[in-house]
Amino acid sequence: MTNIFKTSLIILLLLVSKMSVADEPITLLSRANAASDGFLNSDETFNRLLSHAFTTKLQWTNQARLIKRLTTNEPVCSYDLIKTPEREQHIIFSELPTTVYEQRKVYAFKSFLDNLPKRVSVLELLEKNHTLGIDSGTSYKELEPILKKYKDQVASISSEDTSSQLPNLLIHNRIDMIIDYEINIQETFSDEQLKKIGSRAIAEYPEYVNGYFACSKTSQGSKVIQALNHLMKTPAIYNYLRQQPQHSYSADTSSKIMLAHKQMFVIPPKISKINRQDK
Lowest mean pLDDT among 21-35, 135-149, 154-168, 210-224: 21-35
Of 202, 218, 245, at which residue does a domain stop?
Answer: 202
DSSP 149-167: HTGGGEEEE--TTHHHHHH
Q: What is residue 175's predicted lDDT score, i.e. its pLDDT?
A: 94
Same domain, 20 and 157: no
Instruction: Describe the chain by its helix, strand, coil percentages, rounded to 5.
Output: 45, 20, 35
Q: What is residue 267's predicted lDDT score, i.e. its pLDDT?
A: 42
Q: Hey, what long-range contacts does 151-156 have (CB within 8 A, 24 or more apart)?
A: 153/126, 153/129, 154/126, 155/131
Interval 213-269: pLDDT, tens: 999 999 999 999 998 888 877 766 666 666 654 445 555 555 555 555 555 554 444
Q: Which residues contact 30 (CB under 8 A, 6 or more apart)?
A: 39, 40, 43, 58, 59, 60, 61, 78
Using the predicted structure, report yes or no on whether residue 46 has a pLDDT greater than 70.
yes
Same domain, 142 and 167: yes
Q: What is residue 15's predicted lDDT score, i.e. its pLDDT?
A: 46
Same domain, 257 and 222: yes
Same domain, 10 and 62: yes
3-state DSSP assignment of residue 130: coil
Same domain, 93 and 214: yes
pLDDT mean over 173-179: 95
Q: What is residue 279's predicted lDDT score, i.e. its pLDDT?
A: 33
Same domain, 93 and 147: no
More confident residue, 255 or 22: 255
Lowest mean pLDDT among 99-103, 135-139, 228-232, 244-248: 244-248
Rounded Cα gap, residues 26 and 199, in angstroms: 39
Same domain, 156 and 182: yes
Rounded Cα gap, residues 37 and 45, in angstroms: 14
Using the predicted structure, report yes or no on whether residue 88 has a pLDDT greater than 60.
yes
Whether the Cβ atoms of residue 110 and residue 247 lie closer than 8 Å to each other: no
Q: Is the dihedral of CA 21, 24, 29, 34 positive or negative?
A: positive
Of 152, 177, 202, at which residue does a domain stop?
Answer: 202
Q: Which of the four pLDDT bands, split at 50, 70 and 90, describes residue 58?
A: confident
Rounded Cα gap, residues 53 and 43, in angstroms: 16
Rounded to the nearest 10 degrees, the angle between the axes of helix 3-16 and helix 235-242 is: 120
Same domain, 82 and 35: yes
Domain region containing 35: 3-102+208-278
Rounded Cα gap, residues 25 and 8, in angstroms: 20
Please report, for the domain that includes residue 179, its CATH number. 3.40.190.10
Same domain, 196 and 215: no
Same domain, 7 and 88: yes
Domain count, the chain: 2
Q: What is residue 159's predicted lDDT score, i.e. its pLDDT?
A: 58
